[in-house]
Chains A and B, each alone.
Chain A
Amino acid sequence: MNKMNDQASKTYEIMEVCLLAGKIMLQSGGETYRVEDTMMRIAAALGVEKSHSYVTPTGIIFSAEGDEPTKTKLIRISERSTDLKKVALVNSVSRQITSGDLNMKEALNRLQEIETMTLTFPLWVQTAAASLASGCFMIMFNGTWIDFIPSMISGGLGYLSFVKFHRFVPIKFFSEFLAAFIIGLLSLLLVQIGFGKELDKIIIGSVMTLVPGLLVTNAIRDLMAGHLIAGLSKGAEAFLTAFAIGAGIAVVLTFL
């Protein structure tokens, strides 16, 4: 009896490690198939030969089969962002587990460490990057160098306001709408005072930092790979984001 309890609690601990790894990856923007694959690999390396993982953008269900009755756990994911560094870190932890360099306790500690880490660049660096990207995109969409500084200004401020609004009201749709509105308004102002020339190019360049390019591609890719639920829900999220940006700009365009 005691032995069986030991076995059961060990399986639960293995599941804990798998779920934590999956959770961090999914919250940091890892692809659905990669999350599922990583969780099953970790489970196999730690001794659970047969496992099933079912990943959707809003939750993970993981069950481990063994000699004892099958155990299943569920984890709810409510906040998602893009943090590729964390994906890379979890990936390397999973590699170390499969190669046997990390045992279960160490892996769990390492994953908990990763979960609490804040690895993002400081906000001013992100804003600077966003404004640089906006300026560059404007040139790539056949804009002229005269509009480089204006699109840097509106793109940078738009991104900054998106991050700030999102902290204030954690509804993505709303903060995207407001950020797009601010970008449109700023671009219009800059063109009106004669600092910028082509309104369209400035807006397109600046809006690119908000565009759900990653989501759209991941959605279609998930659909093609057979992750139908994940694909559809990512597609819905991408559509909402695109709609929010479009609506924000559209409000400004009606002022014209």
Chain B
Amino acid sequence: MDILAQLITSFFATGAFGIIFNAPKESLLKCGLVGMGGWLVYYVLEKHMGDAVFATLSATIFIAVISQEMAKIYKTPVIIFSVAGVIPLVPGGLAYDAMRKFVENDYNHALGLAAKTLLLAGAIAFGLVFSEVINQIQRKISYRVSKK
């Protein structure tokens, strides 16, 4: 039941972000589905392993790989699918908590939270780069095979 609510809300949240970023109308549904898949990966991993960084990394790689495949099929830039999909993973909540601790002059907790936020942002970026590397290796291999 809980996971169903998460799926529905993540679908609508990502689709709505597609509208804010003015993604083409026909791709809004796909944006929502990409975001939903990514959030499912994150949610399940985070719940069962308790490591947000690893969950974020896996979810980002999942989103980026799916987006790249979709971009190839529909001949549109990858960014259209990946940007909205990644948004739920952005550590906005943590950044807020860190900021709140700073305001309350609780610098010890605030610094820890800020470091965690940075790590999560790094995980997202690394996931995106990693999947791009996979994509390039794949392309090179298929190029070599077709040449032989």
Is B77 close to A, CB under 8 A?
Answer: yes
Asked if residues B95 and A217 are in contact (CB atoms below 8 Å), the reply is no
Asked if residues A249 and B77 are in contact (CB atoms below 8 Å), the reply is no
Interface of A is mostly: helix
Interface residues of B in 89-121 (CB under 8 A from A): 90, 92-93, 95-97, 99-100, 102-104, 121
A207 touches which of B17, B96, B104, B128 (Cβ 8 Å):
B96
Q: How far apart are the CA atoms of A200 and B22 in the complex, in Å?
A: 29
Interface residues of A in 169-226 (CB under 8 A from B): 200, 203-204, 207-209, 211, 213-214, 216-217, 219-221, 224-225
Is A15 close to B, CB under 8 A?
Answer: no
* A84 partner residues in chain B, CB cutoff 8 A: 18, 21-24, 77, 79-80, 83
* B9 partner residues in chain A, CB cutoff 8 A: 135-137, 139-140
Nearest CB on A from B105, distance (A): 11
Is A98 close to B, CB under 8 A?
Answer: no
Asked if residues A207 and B121 are in contact (CB atoms below 8 Å), the reply is no
Please judge, given known A-B contacts A130-B16, A207-B92, A217-B121, whether A88 and B77 are in contact too, CB under 8 Å.
yes
Is A108 close to B, CB under 8 A?
Answer: no
* B97 partner residues in chain A, CB cutoff 8 A: 200
B129 touches which of A209, A216, A221 (Cβ 8 Å):
A221
* A136 partner residues in chain B, CB cutoff 8 A: 9-10, 12-13, 16
The residue on A at minimum CB distance from B19 is A129
Asked if residues B20 and A130 are in contact (CB atoms below 8 Å), the reply is yes
* B102 partner residues in chain A, CB cutoff 8 A: 246, 250
* A227 partner residues in chain B, CB cutoff 8 A: none
Q: How many cross-chain pairs have Cβ atoms below 8 Å apart between A and B?
A: 144
Of A3-11, A28-36, A44-52, the one touching chain B = A28-36
Interface string of B1-44 (1 = CB under 8 A from A): 00001100110110111111111100000000000000100000
* A216 partner residues in chain B, CB cutoff 8 A: 90, 121, 124-125
Is A1 close to B, CB under 8 A?
Answer: no
Is B86 close to A, CB under 8 A?
Answer: yes
Please judge, given known A-B contacts A92-B75, A140-B9, A224-B129, whether A249 and B99 are in contact too, CB under 8 Å.
yes
* B124 partner residues in chain A, CB cutoff 8 A: 216-217, 220
Interface string of A132-165 (1 = CB under 8 A from B): 1101110111000000000000000001000000
Instruction: State how many residues of chain B have any CB contact under 8 Å with chain A.
Output: 44
* B129 partner residues in chain A, CB cutoff 8 A: 221, 224-225
Of A16-24, A56-64, A70-78, A118-126, the one touching chain B = A118-126
Q: How far apart are the CA atoms of A211 and B18 in the complex, in Å?
A: 15
Please judge, given known A-B contacts A87-B80, A217-B125, A250-B99, whether A120 and B92 are in contact too, CB under 8 Å.
no
The residue on B at minimum CB distance from A201 is B93
Asked if residues A140 and B10 are in contact (CB atoms below 8 Å), the reply is yes
Asked if residues B22 and A213 are in contact (CB atoms below 8 Å), the reply is no
Is B45 close to A, CB under 8 A?
Answer: no
The residue on B at minimum CB distance from A141 is B93
Asked if residues B77 and A246 are in contact (CB atoms below 8 Å), the reply is no
* A253 partner residues in chain B, CB cutoff 8 A: 100, 103-104
* A126 partner residues in chain B, CB cutoff 8 A: 19-20
Asked if residues A246 and B99 are in contact (CB atoms below 8 Å), the reply is yes
Is A2 close to B, CB under 8 A?
Answer: no
Please judge, given known A-B contacts A84-B23, A120-B22, whether A30 and B93 are in contact too, CB under 8 Å.
no
* A120 partner residues in chain B, CB cutoff 8 A: 22
Seed contacts A84-B79, A216-B90, A253-B104; 10 additional CB < 8 Å A-B pairs:
A84-B77, A133-B16, A135-B9, A213-B92, A224-B129, A225-B129, A249-B99, A250-B103, A253-B103, A254-B103
11 A-B residue pairings within 8 Å (CB atoms): A34-B79, A85-B23, A125-B19, A126-B20, A129-B20, A132-B12, A140-B13, A214-B83, A217-B124, A219-B125, A220-B122
